[in-house]
């Protein structure tokens, strides 16, 4: 990253800053120790990640299950939000006033609502009205066991699917609005001359977009889009309020049962950090490989 | 002749009306029965029970399995009904909306009967009684030894949001400041950090935590200061389900099963090693 020709080489300030940061961290833990005189019990935590089962050997426990649910939730949300976002983003940059109005209404409505409110409205009202209408819950109950097993791996246990589905849909609607803005910004960043040049070649509007404008827009779209995916992982914590057993919910339940408040919060924080930083590293790799291609 | 004919005619019409009426009434009862939560659960083969994590009512043990007093009650109920049990852990603040929007069939979650709640849901007869107790911080509430000591303007009390302890705290300590959290852990953390004076919760949690953190917490008053009936909650307009559940509770009470389970979870700590 540090390939700027005039990158600063003096490290005195950096060392000083690092020292101050270490001091602050030390002070924090010292205060924590004296102020709370908290009974740390870290030995109890690892068993909530993995435990030794007398029959099956080492198996994942609640926190790892929670992390996996967070991951599945984020992946499905990303796929669905990408669809919603690209459609809304293209509509927002289209020539039709009607499409632009629809897209803007969606984006503005969602961006100006707290996500927590969105989650509750969807779960308690919209889903409860829609699901019986299309027979979703009955279909989930009636599905064959093999399908249930597949869904348990890629989504969630069949009995928890209604919650999972409404979580994914709500998060997708929420993230989709941001992706729509990213896509719209990318498309509008492409110079008008490119549209005109493509039109003068006799390409229809859809081909102008697909062959000329979108490839150039992608360069602008990809970096903020990867950032949005990482946001999705973080935002997924919010569906813990509708009892989807993702990492935050599992952590809260665990704390209710064991009262290991700090240990569990710190463990969860580290698990989120590992996940999001891993994704950030992957995203940077992807960006670099894409830079070659365009 | 003419009048007799009219008389017969009236009888005939009345008979027809009566038959139609009973047929309709019969349909209505059938419909009610088929729509009842119990019939649906039996048809589905699973009883979905909503609850919230609440030591020692219902909690995850260290293998991730649910254990606790309520869990025993739910499991036994499902067993007696001949259906499988489906646990639906739900956060407390959303538990009644979740019941009303059919996320599960019944709440068995240590829910105290209150009139406000009763306007939203129907309660069975009580299967348990609980009471409010208070645990206080040694550093913040030094020298407090009566309930009146906590009813002062500079006192801060924590309780779980939407719970009967929160209502009780409001009623008993109107002058104090009430701070609410979604989980009891968060309340407990506030108390242990010495940011609040006292924590109001359902027995036996205050007594247990005073023993566990004897260096920081104490019980300013012994025992409980309210008595509250605890019951199952079901959606309104379902007399069949209420009847089945009420009679199940009566049986279990008469057999001494409820008292025995309650003793195990509330008066012993034999289960504590299953947690951490």
Closest chain A C-alpha to B129 CA, distance in angstroms:
22
Model confidence, pTM = 0.79
Helices (H) and strands (E) in chain B, counts: 10, 14
Give burial (CB, 10 Å; 0-12/13-18/19+) of B218.
Answer: middle
pLDDT the model gives residue A1: 47
User: What is the C-alpha separation between A86 and A181, in angstroms, rounded?
Assistant: 9
CA-CA-CA-CA dihedral for B35, B38, B44, B50, to nearest 10: 110
Q: Tokens 């009883």 map to which residue?
A: B47
Question: pLDDT band for position A69 (50/70/90)?
Answer: very high
Q: Answer whether the bond into residue B204 is a cis peptide, omega within 30°.
A: yes
φ/ψ of residue B128, rounded to 5: -165, 155
Picking from A36, A62, A257, the nearest residue to B193 by CB comes out as A36
Give burial (CB, 10 Å; 0-12/13-18/19+) of B28.
Answer: exposed
Q: Is A207 on the interface with B (CB under 8 A)?
A: no
User: What is the C-alpha separation between A102 and B51, in angstroms, rounded?
Assistant: 41
User: What is the C-alpha separation between B21 and B78, in angstroms, rounded?
Assistant: 37
User: What is the C-alpha separation between A286 and A113, in angstroms, rounded?
Assistant: 32
pLDDT the model gives residue A292: 60
Helices A261-293 + A247-258 axis angle, to 10: 170
Q: Is A252 on the interface with B (CB under 8 A)?
A: yes
Query: Is 70 exceeded by the pLDDT of residue A25?
Result: yes
pLDDT the model gives residue A187: 92
Q: Say which residue, A66 or A256, is predicted with more confidence.
A: A66
Question: pLDDT band for position A37 (50/70/90)?
Answer: low
Q: Is B139 on the interface with A (CB under 8 A)?
A: no
Residues of A in contact with B53 (CB under 8 A): 253, 256-257
Query: Is 80 exceeded by the pLDDT of residue A2?
Result: no
- What average pLDDT score do residues B116-125 get? 94
* Residues B276, A159: C-beta atoms closer than 8 Å: no
User: What is the C-alpha separation between B178 and B105, in angstroms, rounded?
Assistant: 33
Question: pLDDT band for position A47 (50/70/90)?
Answer: confident
Residues of B in contact with A41 (CB under 8 A): 276
Q: Say which residue, B83 or A44, is predicted with more confidence.
A: B83
Q: Is A51 on the interface with B (CB under 8 A)?
A: yes
User: What is the C-alpha separation between B228 and A246, in angstroms, rounded?
Assistant: 34
Q: Is the reported ipTM for this assembly greater than 0.95?
A: no
Picking from B54, B101, B183, the nearest residue to A252 by CB comes out as B183
Q: Could you tell me the CA-to-CA distances from A259 to A39, A265, B158, B173, B192 in Å, in that order?
A: 11, 11, 16, 26, 11
- What average pLDDT score do residues B245-258 get? 95
- Of A76, A82, A77, A72, nearest to A225 (Cα)? A82
**Per-residue pLDDT reduced to its tens digit, A141-198:** 788 888 888 888 888 887 788 888 989 999 999 999 999 999 999 999 999 999 999 9
Q: Is B226 on the interface with A (CB under 8 A)?
A: no
Question: pLDDT band for position A132 (50/70/90)?
Answer: confident
Query: Is 80 exceeded by the pLDDT of residue B6?
Result: no
DSSP label at residue A121: I
User: What's the mean per-residue pLDDT of chain B?
Assistant: 87
User: What is the C-alpha separation between A244 and A247, in angstroms, rounded?
Assistant: 9
**Per-residue pLDDT reduced to its tens digit, B184-240:** 888 988 898 888 999 999 888 888 888 888 888 999 888 888 888 999 999 998 999
* Residues B102, A128: C-beta atoms closer than 8 Å: yes
The answer to whether the beta carbons of residues B119 and B112 sit under 8 Å apart is: no
- What average pLDDT score do residues A262-285 get? 92
Query: Is 60 exceeded by the pLDDT of residue A16?
Result: yes
Exposure b/e, A171-193, CB count within 10 A at least 16 = b: bbbbbbbbbbbbbbbbbeebeee
What are the helix (H) ranges across chain A?
12-36, 46-49, 62-92, 97-111, 115-120, 127-134, 136-142, 145-154, 161-189, 192-200, 205-207, 214-235, 247-258, 261-293
């Amino acid at each position: 990253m540090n390939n700027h020709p005039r990158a600063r080489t003096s490290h005195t300030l950096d060392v000083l800053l690092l020292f101050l940061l270490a001091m602050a961290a030390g002070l924090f833990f010292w205060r924590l120790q004296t102020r709370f005189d908290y009974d740390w019990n870290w030995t109890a935590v690892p068993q909530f990640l993995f435990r030794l089962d007398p029959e099956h050997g080492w198996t994942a426990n609640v926190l790892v299950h929670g992390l996996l649910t967070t991951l599945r939730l984020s992946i499905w949300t990303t796929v669905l939000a990408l669809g919603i976002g690209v459609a809304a983003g293209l509509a927002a940059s289209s020539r039709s006033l009607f499409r632009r109005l629809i897209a803007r209404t969606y984006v503005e409505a969602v961006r100006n609502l707290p996500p927590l409110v969105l989650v509750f409205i969807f779960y308690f009202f919209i889903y409860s009205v829609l699901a019986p209408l299309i027979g979703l819950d009955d279909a989930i109950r009636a599905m064959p066991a093999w399908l249930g097993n597949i869904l348990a791996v890629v989504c969630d246990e069949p009995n928890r699917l209604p919650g999972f589905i409404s979580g994914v849909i709500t998060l997708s609607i929420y993230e989709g609005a941001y992706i729509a803005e990213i896509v719209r910004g990318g498309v509008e960043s492409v110079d008008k001359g490119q549209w005109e040049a493509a039109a003068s070649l006799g390409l229809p509007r859809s081909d102008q977009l697909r062959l000329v404008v979108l490839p150039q827009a992608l360069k602008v779209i990809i970096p903020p889009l990867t950032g949005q995916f990482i946001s999705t992982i973080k935002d997924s914590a919010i569906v813990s309020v509708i009892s989807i057993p993702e990492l935050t919910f599992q952590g809260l339940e665990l704390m209710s049962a064991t009262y290991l408040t700090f240990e569990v919060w710190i463990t969860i924080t580290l698990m989120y950090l590992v996940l999001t930083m891993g994704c950030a590293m992957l995203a940077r790799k992807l960006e670099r490989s894409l830079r070659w291609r365009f | 002749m003419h009048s007799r004919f009219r008389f017969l005619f009236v009888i005939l019409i009345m008979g027809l009306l009566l038959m139609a009426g009973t047929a309709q009434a019969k349909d209505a009862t059938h419909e009610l029965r088929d729509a009842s939560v119990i019939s649906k659960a039996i048809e589905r083969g699973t009883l979905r029970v909503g609850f919230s994590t609440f030591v020692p009512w219902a909690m995850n043990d260290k293998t991730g399995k649910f254990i606790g007093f309520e869990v025993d009650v739910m499991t036994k109920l499902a067993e007696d009904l001949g259906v499988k049990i489906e646990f639906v852990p739900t956060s407390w603040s959303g538990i009644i909306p979740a019941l009303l929007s059919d996320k599960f069939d019944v709440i068995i979650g240590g829910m105290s009967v209150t009139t406000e709640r009763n306007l939203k849901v129907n309660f069975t007869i009580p299967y348990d009684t609980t009471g409010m107790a208070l645990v206080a911080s040694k550093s913040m509430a030094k020298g407090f030894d009566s309930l009146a000591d906590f009813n002062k303007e500079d006192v801060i009390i924590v309780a779980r949001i939407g719970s009967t302890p929160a209502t009780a705290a409001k009623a008993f300590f109107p002058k104090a400041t009430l701070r609410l959290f979604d989980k009891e852990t968060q309340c407990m953390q506030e108390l242990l950090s010495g940011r609040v004076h006292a924590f109001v919760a359902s027995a036996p949690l205050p007594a247990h935590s005073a023993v566990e953190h004897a260096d920081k917490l104490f019980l300013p008053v012994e025992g409980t200061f309210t008595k509250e009936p605890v019951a199952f909650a079901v959606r309104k307009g379902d007399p069949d389900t209420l009847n089945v559940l009420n009679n199940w509770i009566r049986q279990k009470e008469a057999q001494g099963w409820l008292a025995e389970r309650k003793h195990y979870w509330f008066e012993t700590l034999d289960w504590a090693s299953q947690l951490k």
